[in-house]
Amino acid sequence: MQSQTAATDTVPRTRRYYHAEVLIVLGLSLGQSAVYAIVNLLEKMTRAPLGSQTTALNPVLNERELFDLLYQLLAIFFALVPVALVLFLLAGPGERAREAFRKIGFTFARPGVDFGLGFGLALLIGVGTLGVYAGGRALGITTAIVPAALDEYWWTVPVLVLSALRHSVLEEVVVVGYLFNRLAKLGWGTWTIIFTSALIRGSYHLYQGIGPGIGNFLMGLVFGYAYTRTKRVMPLVIAHALLDIAGFVGYALFGSAIGIGE
């Protein structure tokens, strides 16, 4: 019985299997978010001009402080379940869990290099993001974005930091680390994979307007290229986390003075 089980576990996975796996993973995570974002964009465009509307990130989930905190933490926790799923899938039969982290470079093996590259990418993308946002607002294709709509409690800043970490880990592990691995197994070319990953990244940000969709698509191209050069997702997670922490916490502390949300 044990030999039969072992033989079954080592059967090579087919292209059909990987196609199904990718569709299921995306359907449970960022692919689903992309569909909702597109529908949300269409709803906004048929309601009023995009430039006259506001999109709030990190909204209040309950008017009572304790339950708002609980809902915020639950939302962060369950949003990371797809990350656990793809790491489980990447490990493969008979492999230790840490192999999945190693395959996509989601480790602290090179902290100096990872943080250096992450900071550089954050600076590059951050400057570009402000430019794309300003341009989108001027053209009327981007909604006014409020990065932090939480009420002011003692836990507001820690929760915003956790929210930033959630987005960075979820997006970079799933849409870069996992997706690049699986599409490569399906025989896709490098630039086709980069373009597809960037397209998915841009699409699930369309609920903010056309401008953020374009901006995140360009960010996806840069991040995708960086990943093909380093084979490490950790610098991307660091860069993404720095960007979101600056946006979320910066807005919470300084409000519209930083130019976002107007």
Please classify residue 133 by burial: count the beta carbons closer than 10 Å to its beta carbon, then call 0-12 exposed, 13-18 middle and 19+ buried: buried
Sign of CA dihedral 198, 201, 204, 209: negative
- For residue 257, the model assigns a pLDDT of 58
pLDDT in tens, 92-127: 877 888 999 999 999 999 999 999 999 999 999 999
- For residue 103, the model assigns a pLDDT of 96
- For residue 1, the model assigns a pLDDT of 44
- For residue 259, the model assigns a pLDDT of 52
C-alpha to C-alpha distance for 163 and 43, rounded to whole angstroms: 26
Mean pLDDT over 228-236 rounds to: 98
pLDDT range class, residue 6, cuts 50, 70, 90 = very low
DSSP string, the chain: -HHHHHHHHTSPPPHHHHHHHHHHHHHHTHHHHHHHHHHHHHHHHTTS-GGG-EEESS--S-SSHHHHHHHHHHHHHHHTHHHHHHHHHHH-TT--HHHHHHHTT-SSSSHHHHHHHHHHHHHHHHHHHHHHHHHHHHHT-BPEEES------TTHHHHHHHHHHHHHHHHHIIIIIIHHHHHHHTT--HHHHHHHHHHHHHHTTGGGBHHHHHHHHHHHHHHHHHHHHH--SHHHHHHHHHHHHHHHHHHHHHGGGGS---
Sequence ranges of the domains in the chain? 14-258
The answer to pTM > 0.75 is yes
Contact 174, 81 (CB under 8 A): no
pLDDT(198) > 60:
yes
Computed over every residue of the chain, the mean pLDDT equals 93
13-17, 31-35, 62-66, range with the lowest pLDDT: 13-17
Please classify residue 5 by burial: count the beta carbons closer than 10 Å to its beta carbon, then call 0-12 exposed, 13-18 middle and 19+ buried: exposed
Say which residue, 171 or 262, is predicted with more confidence: 171
- For residue 252, the model assigns a pLDDT of 82
